[in-house]
Structure 1
Amino acid sequence: MASARDVYQRLKDASLGVVVAHLHDHQRWRDVHSGLVAVEIDGWIVTLNKEAGALDYCAGCLLPDGQQLDSRAWAGRGTDPLELLSVWERARLEQTLAQL
């Protein structure tokens, strides 16, 4: 079973440009001020919540094999996948997503 660290790795890879992130369902990052935005990263659909235009938390993830994760999958294990990103990685991820 995938963990918060697995989701974090996808987010980190996107922030570093190792993999390409795409918005899912033809959304535009800048069009959502507050709410959920689905981002496809290397076949994983990661649902992120924005609050007042900034990343807030990771709401869930759908893996290519159909496995679904939500905050319950990582709550007991320590933290939200976004919290595992360094300050620099998180800023780079926001910059990357802002271009989508």
Structure 2
Amino acid sequence: MTRESLSSREVCQILRDLALGTRSIQRISRQASPGIDAGQIRVEVDGWVLNLCQDQGTLTRCESCIAADGRSATFADWHRYGTDPVELLSTWERAQVEGLLADPQSVEARAI
């Protein structure tokens, strides 16, 4: 049995929509590395759950994603095909998403 996984382009489109302000975002959790501004942030974007990695406030990659319909993929899936969803973003889109993740008012925390 094969599982249907998400393409990097599907996940990138969610991030693009977020950058354009057409989707809402909520922070689920944040795991920071002690002493440095790096770590993972888990967010929900209109039913999609994304685990994003940051280093000094810069979005570095999408570690994993679960779509609203239950399909999922991880960095290993995208690495195999050579493309991480974050790498598909334009410079402006990436900056917009980084700004949303940095602004506590734009990313409302919630408990899972």
Count of paired positions: 96
Q: Which residue of 1 aligns with 2:9?
A: 5
Q: CA RMSD in A?
A: 1.9
The answer to which of 13-22 and 90-99 deviates more is 90-99
Whether the 8 Å CA contact 1:10–1:42 is kept in 2: the answer is: no
User: Residue deviations 1:42-84, cap 9 Å, x none?
Assistant: 2110100111222111101112233331012211222110000
Q: Is contact 2:27-2:44 (8 Å) kept?
A: yes
2:40 equivalent to 1:67: no
Cα drift, residue 20 of structure 1: 0.9
1:44 maps to 2:48: yes
Are 2:87 and 1:83 equivalent residues in the alignment?
A: yes
Partners of 2:83 and 2:72 in 1: how far apart?
A: 17
1:58 to 56, 62, 81: 62
The alignment-based identity, stated in percent, is: 39
* SS of match in other structure, 2:52: strand
Taking the aligned partners of 1:66 and 1:18, their CA distance within structure 2 comes to: 21
Tell me which structure has the larger Cα radius of gyration. Answer: 2
What is the TM-score normalised by the length of structure 1?
A: 0.84
Q: Is the 8 A contact 2:57 2:98 kept in 1?
A: no
Whether the 8 Å CA contact 1:22–1:40 is kept in 2: the answer is yes
Q: In structure 2, how many angstroms separate the alpha carbons of the residues matched to 1:17 and 1:53?
A: 20
Secondary structure of residue in 2 paired with 1:40: strand
Segments of structure 1 that go 5 or more residues without pairing to the other structure are none
2:68 maps to amino acid: P
After TM superposition, what 4+ stretches of structure 1 lie above 6 angstroms from structure 2?
A: none
